[in-house]
Chain A
Amino acid sequence: EAGVTQFPSHSVIEKGQTVTLRCDPISGHDNLYWYRRVMGKEIKFLLHFVKESKQDESGMPNNRFLAERTGGTYSTLKVQPAELEDSGVYFCASSQFTLATNEKLFFGSGTQLSVL
Chain B
Amino acid sequence: DAKTTQPPSMDCAEGRAANLPCNHSTISGNEYVYWYRQIHSQGPQYIIHGLKNNETNEMASLIITEDRKSSTLILPHATLRDTAVYYCIVRVTGANSKLTFGKGITLSVRP
Contacts and interface: CB of A to CB of B under 8 A. Distances in A.
Interface of B: 32, 36, 38, 41-46, 49, 91, 93-103
Contacts of B102: 42
A106 B93 CA distance: 18
Given A102-B32, A104-B46, A110-B43, A43 B95 contact: no
Contacts of A77: none
A81 to B, nearest CB: 27
Interface string A71-110: 0000000000000000000010100001111101111111
A99 B46 contact: no
A107 B98 CA distance: 14
A105 B46 contact: yes
A56 B98 contact: yes
A99 B99 contact: yes
Given A55-B96, A104-B49, A99 B91 contact: yes
A79 to B, nearest CB: 19
Contacts of B32: 102
25 contacts: A4-B43, A42-B101, A42-B103, A44-B101, A45-B99, A48-B96, A59-B98, A99-B91, A99-B93, A99-B97, A99-B99, A100-B95, A100-B96, A101-B93, A102-B32, A102-B49, A102-B93, A104-B46, A104-B49, A105-B44, A105-B46, A106-B46, A107-B45, A109-B41, A110-B42
Given A42-B103, A48-B98, A100 B93 contact: yes
